[in-house]
A = this chain, B = another copy of it.
Amino acid sequence: METIELTQNERFQASKQKMEKAAYILKTVAHPIRLAIIDLLSEEGEMGVNDICKALDCEQSLISHHLINMKLRGILQSQKDGLNVFYALKEKEIVKLLQCIENCDCNM
């Protein structure tokens, strides 16, 4: 195993990229509806779009946009069955974010 020395600048760029990736993930999650979807799916395992809409009391189109967005970004996965499309968590690590935040104090 070789040891690779990074220059100051390479380290800077690497860290920058790491922060961009983290921000990207956090952003796709940082919305009350999307968090509610994640929370719901972590409990139910799998749900159809309509049931999610009812559970969250939101319009179908809005929920659909959010679901597709999260799927696109690798947080959710979906599976079609007849008329229904069932969504589920793909990236389960994401639930830990919610747990992690429970202990945070903030000024709202």
Q: Could you list which residues of chain A lie within 8 angstroms of chain B, going by C-beta atoms? A: 12, 15-16, 19-36, 39, 57, 72-75, 91, 93-94, 96-98, 100-101, 103-108
Contacts and interface: CB of A to CB of B under 8 A. Distances in A.
A81 B36 CA distance: 43
Contacts of A20: 32
Contacts of A30: 23, 26-27, 29-30
Quick one: copies of this chain in the complex?
Answer: 2
A15 B39 contact: yes
A25 B72 contact: no
A104 B25 CA distance: 8
Nearest to A30: B26
Contacts of A29: 26, 30
B19 A36 contact: yes
Contacts of A106: 21, 24-25, 28, 73-75, 91
Contact of A36 (B16, B91, B98, B101): B16
A28 to B, nearest CB: 8
Given A21-B101, A26-B35, A72-B107, 11 more contacts: A15-B36, A16-B32, A19-B35, A19-B36, A22-B35, A23-B35, A26-B30, A26-B97, A73-B106, A94-B104, A97-B101
